[in-house]
Homo-oligomer: A and B are copies of this chain.
Amino acid sequence: MNIEKYTEELITLRHYFHQYPELALQEVETSAYIRKYLEKLGYEIVPIEPTGLIAELPSLRNREKLVVLRAEMDALPIQEQTNLPYASVNQGCMHACGHDMILAAALILAKIVAEEQRMQENFPVRLRFLFEPAEEIGEGAKRMLQAGALENPKADAFLMFHYAADMTFGMAVHQGQASSMINSMQIHVHGKSSHWCEADKGIDAIYAAAQVISAIHDLNESFGKQHPDAGKYIVGTGTIHGGEYTNIIADHVVLNGNIRAVHEETYMALEHELERNLQEIEKQTGTQIRMEFPKDPVYAFANDEELTETAKAVGAEVFGDKFVLEGEDELFLSGDNAYRYFRETRGLFTVFLAGIPGENHPLHHPKFQLDERILPYSVEALYKIITTL
């Protein structure tokens, strides 16, 4: 495998995907481009409505092990502000989560495998590519799995990979927990309106909401002390809106936030504790408080031990001392609908570190940037992981 000769095309592909981002479930051009690219290489494609693709080389069908690799296709509803020459030309839509890099890497990996197999016919595993739509809205994995992404035959391993901007050049794999459990909660506080001149006739929903915020703050402080094995977690409120008039006691406040935890048990305990706190505040203030979860939670998942060992060996080989085996404490408290794949088979989540010094814009930021020079290294590492399994 000679990765150098693919470097230019990796960059070209990445620029193409970056320039033409498409929102979740609308990845029409992206999907068509990928399909055409892969069919030319001899891949057989199963389209998954509306834009998903499952791709395999027919000549690898007789291999013993099925390894499944996921690449996400969707971009975000963000107006890009990078001023890059290949910045998004699609108004209000941007690849600000690295899926452009993922797609470029997956296509070149597919090309390398196809070319090798055509020449030597000895590629060791059956490799299946999943081009997943709508990862950002938590819709894609469900649809891919319903279409049998990990079946026929039962997959031996599931691989996923991201590019991160918070550290420069390297590769990171988490030992154990690899992604967190999260959900968005909405807390409604209902009081009773009255003119502030007749405060005794009202029940102030804003005051009760302040107690809720303080309780969440205290829960963050105390829970870890009371439960030393809780792992990383956070309960955070991102928005608060309440009241209509400056001189009227507010009868309704809405808080929106998230509960996040590396361990599902911690998540469940936090949700339970918060619910208990809300009931206490209800009693103290005379308000009615309701916590809702508009969506299903995104569950946590962990890297398989054996796959982690493989990744460690490959990481050391390709990245040397720039490979990092991270613990739970380094885990970012984010979630991924890929937990659904991890429930079906053993999995590995590899992170390629592609931060640019001085460009510290986080994922989903309009100025988010990645160092694309990581691309050939990442393809090499993925190739080696797959062929070592």
Residues of A in contact with B, size category: 35 or more
A238 within 8 A of B: yes
Report the stretch among A43-51, A99-107, A116-124, A243-251 that lies at the interface.
A243-251
Known: A213-B206, A258-B247, A362-B198. A241 touches B240 (CB 8 A): yes
**Closest chain B CB from A127 CB (angstroms):** 32
For chain A residues 175-213, which have a beta carbon within 8 Å of chain B?
184, 194-199, 204, 206-207, 209-211, 213
A11 within 8 A of B: no
Given the complex, which residues of B lie within 8 Å of A198, measured CB to CB? 332, 362
Q: Are B363 and A234 in contact (CB under 8 A)?
A: no
Q: Are A239 and B234 in contact (CB under 8 A)?
A: no
A288 within 8 A of B: no
Q: Are A197 and B238 in contact (CB under 8 A)?
A: no
A214 within 8 A of B: yes
CA distance A260 to B209 in the complex (A): 23
Given the complex, which residues of B lie within 8 Å of A199, measured CB to CB? 234, 236
Closest to A248 in B: B238
A297 within 8 A of B: no
**Of B256, B257, B332, which contacts A197 at CB under 8 A?**
B332
- Other A-B pairs, 15, CB within 8 Å; known A196-B234, A238-B243: A195-B362, A195-B363, A195-B364, A196-B258, A197-B332, A204-B237, A207-B237, A238-B244, A238-B249, A239-B246, A239-B250, A240-B240, A240-B241, A243-B256, A246-B257
Chain A interface (Cβ < 8 Å from any Cβ of B) = 184, 194-199, 204, 206-207, 209-211, 213-214, 217, 234, 236-250, 253, 256-258, 260, 332-334, 362-364
Q: Pick the 9 closest A-B CB pairs, nearest first.
A: A239-B243, A196-B236, A210-B213, A210-B210, A238-B246, A246-B256, A197-B333, A238-B243, A240-B242
